[in-house]
Amino acid sequence: MSAEIRPFTLAVSDDELTYLAKRLDQARLPEAEPVADWTQGTKLDVLKELLAYWRLDYDWRRCERRLNEIGQFVTEIDKLDIHFLHRRSPREDALPLIITHGWPGSVVEFLGVIDELADPTGPDAQAFHVVAPSLPGYGFSGKPTETGWGVERIGKAWATLMQRLGYDRWVAQGGDWGSAVTTMIGAQAPAGCVGIHVNMPIGRPGPDDLATPGPDEVKALKALQFYQDWDSGYSKQQSTRPQTIGYGLVDSPVALAAWILEKMFAWTDNDGSPFDALSMDAILDNIMLYWLPATGASAARLYWESFAKFGEGEVALPTGVSAYPKEIIPAPRKWAERRYSNIVHWNDMHEGGHFAAWEQPDLFVSELRACFARMV
């Protein structure tokens, strides 16, 4: 295995962008849904608005420049290329941080926080060396050609990455799959990791919680039931037959956009439109990191690998939690403490949803600083 860290520069060909435009021009859409809301899935009028912007006004080169500006790299770990953003802080006291995205996200989720994390506007604010890897099968990381790339293996790979970068004392953060990976890192407690932070705490109710739930637990149980009944179809498909859905996600930009846009609506803290929480540019930047490298199937396979084991492991390392009100599967502190035995920071936020860094970048940065100040 090569331990070389290779610079990675994005330079998408004009031919690829022309092909995308052609596919958007030739799209065949279904009729409108016979309901007035999102209960049958992505609304036709909202999708049409996004597709029109994608075709006529969206500028991929802007995102490409931004990713290259931050600094992109690739290194081979366990026979698989891992792509990552790496922004070293100019501050000597900076704390190394590895931050992990989830599905249907990407490293694009962190574009609004990397600069402030690495080079704070306040001279006394904690600075970080930021490492943001693309999960295996996501973005520009390699696509596994064998089974076994679940969260346990990813957690070990992330520890290898931090060691390879020369960081002997570091912290980890994540939400969604990033929360599962970060929780696994906490359970594995690799050399050098001094603590973790998650914005989707992983916890489950016990028998007593179901018998006599408190107000927070009632709210969490209702959210969990809604997720199971109405919001988990994507996960059932991707955890059982990822290859089948993958054909449509890799071949059709419209299918990919509709599949992802539904979650941009359902999982963000918005006032009735996904564009209340995230701009069209931000949403399309993220979709492009699935479309260009054709990762619809490879990304979905992580569900097949690990969904049944999501969040396994007990964590004794110092842990911080920021619980956002529109989180899809909330876990009250009582539930979370069964998995994280050393919670040193917990904050119930007043706004924000599943994509914390993306939706609320200022709050997210403040939470990380408050959390990790208790660990260093």
| Bridge partner list, 174 | 100, 198
Judge whether 303 counts as a catalytic residue. yes
Burial annotation 115-144 (CB, 10 A radius, 16+ → b, else e): bbbbbbeeeebbbbbbbbbbbbbbbbbbbb
Rounded Cα–Cα distance for residues 76 and 57 (Å): 37
Q: Where are the alpha helices (DSSP H) in the chain?
A: 14-25, 44-56, 60-70, 114-118, 151-164, 177-188, 207-211, 215-226, 233-240, 242-251, 253-266, 274-277, 280-291, 296-306, 333-336, 356-359, 361-372
User: Is 354 designated active site?
Assistant: yes
- CA-to-CA distance for 200 and 227, rounded, in angstroms? 14
Counts of helices then strands in the chain (DSSP H, E): 17, 9
Print burial letters for 258-295: b (CB count within 10 Å at least 16), e (below 16): bbbbbbbbbbbbbeeebbebbebebbbbbbbbbbbbeb
Contact present, 264 and 257 (Cβ < 8 Å): no
Catalytic residue among 138, 234, 303, 324: 303
Name the DSSP letter for residue 314: -
What is the token pair recorded at 298? 């490879």
Which residue has tokens 């009582």? 334
What's the first-to-final CA gap in the chain, in angstroms? 33
Residue 176 catalytic?
yes
Which one is catalytic: 86, 129, 167, 176? Answer: 176
Q: ∠ CA(250), CA(252), CA(257), 5° rounding?
A: 95
* Catalytic site positions: 176, 303, 354
